[in-house]
Amino acid sequence: MVVLSNKIERDQLKPGDHIYSWRQAYIYAHHGIYIGEEMVIHFTRGSGQETGTWKILDRLRISSSPLHNTCPNCGDQTRSDGVIRSCLDCFLSGYDLYLFEYGVSPALFLAEARGGTCTIASSDPTEDVVHRALFLLENGFGGYNVFKNNCEDFAIYCKTGLLVLTNIGVGRSGQASSWLAVGSALVSSSLRFMTTGFGGPALVGCGMYCVSRYVSDIGVRSDAVKVQVEKITDLFKED
């Protein structure tokens, strides 16, 4: 893995790979599971499916839907909602291709300045990953929530079978954890700045950001449990 960049070429892809592409000027990345033959299964909220709550977050959700509306393979998926299957071109929507890394060391995990690119957790075998993705394509993955149940959460579950069974905190998504970690770091730094110089707040903020990212990773969370994909539908009904 190259620190800060997991960019790969199409001919390097293998079935079961967790892939992503950066959207909205690198503010947000859209994630999915490559299943072979230039096809990707991913979790999305399409255009016209805005929740009307936080407009900025709604725009990020919309950015996860394919931008092409005349694809001969996929048709018009701009208003698609939930777990869908798209060709690789529609999934990427003109952006670059990246590979999400599994089983990285804590040092490499923290060396990645941005969340949503790797995890300490290990991946399950390819056949399990593809089976989960195909099952969820037919049965769904609950309602889309940018903080607790987004496209990265979907892909991480397919790769690991791990779910966070709690209503407290964020889901499995590294990028959502990073957004919240930034908020925590800014608050801590601001409070520290009232009593010290600039150096102290900077160190405190950096430390808070790293700690928040680390403890939120699916590979170290104590509330992450293995859940059979066949039980997913019932779990989301309970929510």
- 188 falls in which pLDDT band (50, 70, 90)? very low
Residue 105 in contact with residue 85, Cβ under 8 Å? no
Using the structure block, give the residue that is written with the tokens 């195909």. 134
Please state which of the ranges 128-132, 141-145, 159-163 shows the lowest mean pLDDT.
Answer: 141-145
Q: Would you kindly state where each structural domain of the chain is located, as residue ranges?
A: 10-238
Residue 12's Cβ-count burial label (10 Å; 0-12, 13-18, 19+) is exposed
- 216 falls in which pLDDT band (50, 70, 90)? confident
Q: Which CATH number fits domain 10-238: 3.40.50.300, 3.90.1150.10, 3.90.1720.10, 3.30.499.10?
A: 3.90.1720.10
Rounded mean pLDDT of 60-65? 53
Q: Which residues contact 163 (CB under 8 A, 6 or more apart)?
A: 157, 172, 224, 225, 227, 235
Residue 146's Cβ-count burial label (10 Å; 0-12, 13-18, 19+) is buried
- φ, ψ of residue 31 in degrees (nearest 5): -115, 155
The model's pLDDT over 191-203, given as tens digits with 9 standing for 90+, comes to 444 445 545 555 5
Give the whole-angstrom CA distance, residue 138 versus residue 132.
10
Tell me, what DSSP letter sits at residue 10?
A: G
174 vs 16 pLDDT, higher one:
16
Give the whole-angstrom CA distance, residue 160 versus residue 106.
18
Tell me, what DSSP letter sits at residue 121?
A: S
Strand partners for 45: 81
Residue 24 in contact with residue 75, Cβ under 8 Å? no
- 214 falls in which pLDDT band (50, 70, 90)? confident
Give the whole-angstrom CA distance, residue 104 versus residue 40.
24
- pLDDT above 70 for 204: no
Residue 80 in contact with residue 44, Cβ under 8 Å? yes
Taking alpha carbons only, the member of 55, 54, 49, 20 closest to residue 34 is 20
Taking alpha carbons only, the member of 10, 9, 1, 15 closest to residue 128 is 15
* SS3 state at 217: coil
Residue 185's Cβ-count burial label (10 Å; 0-12, 13-18, 19+) is buried
Rounded mean pLDDT of 105-112? 90
Active-site residue set? 30, 42, 151
